[in-house]
Amino acid sequence: CMARNVLANNEGLYAGQSLVEEQYTFIMQDDCNLVLYEYSTPIWASNTGVTGKNGCRAVMQVDGNFVVYDVKGRAVWASNSRRGNGNYILVLQKDRNVVIYGSDIWSTGTYRKKEGGAVVMAMNGTVDGGSVIGPVTVNQNVTAVRKEAATAAAA
């Protein structure tokens, strides 16, 4: 079985199953805790480890919500990203972030910032907590500027 890093609509992780991307593992543990690891270090967790054992599953639902269910089928954690029925995927990315796409509707917020290259600007106009003044390139849902341009514009 080949390691994968994506869940599509109605796909899930049962106890012991995981998504893998390089040194990152997103696993539905046997103790019902959904955890993102970098090597063996936990980076993010659903903190649902006390609710059940050996029957839990995490499901990417068709409504855009990613939900952990306990052994009795009760929802014990959710991404709260419900957007209506559609095509959604959950991706464990190379930048350490787990993201639900239809358009970015939820993430673990664990991405690694890299030096140089492009800077992603939030739709509210902020970059790493500061604002950008000057020309930007708009590409559908993301606005990007080169780091040097952002620095020059802020000066």
pLDDT at 38: 97
Q: How many domains does the chain have?
A: 2
Say which residues have a Cβ less than 8 Å from residue 57's Cβ, sequence separation at least 6: 12, 13, 14, 15, 28, 68, 69
Give pTM, 2 decimals.
0.66
pLDDT band at 6 (very low <50, low <70, confident <90, very high): very high
Q: What does the pLDDT average to over 78-105?
A: 88
pLDDT band, very low/low/confident/very high, at 50 (cuts 50, 70, 90) = low
In this prediction, residue 97 carries a pLDDT of 95
> Do residues 56 and 71 touch, judged by C-beta distance below 8 A?
yes
Identify residue 38 by its one-letter amino acid code.
E
Contact 55, 48 (CB under 8 A): no
Domain CATH for 80: 2.90.10.10
64 φ, ψ (degrees, to nearest 5): 90, -5
Domain that holds residue 74: 6-107
Q: How confident is the model at residue 85 (pLDDT cuts 50, 70, 90)?
A: confident
* Mean pLDDT confidence for 124-144: 40
Query: Is the domain of 58 the same as that of 128?
Result: no
Amino acid sitting at position 55: G
Q: Are residues 70 and 132 in the same domain?
A: no
In a domain, 18, yes or no: yes
Q: Are residues 63 and 11 in the same domain?
A: yes
Q: Are residues 123 and 96 in the same domain?
A: no
5 backbone dihedrals φ, ψ, rounded to 5°: -125, 15
Considering the domain architecture, whether residues 72 and 92 belong to the same structural domain is answered as: yes
130 in the same domain as 62 = no
Residue 139 shares a structural domain with residue 93: no
AA letter at 61: Q
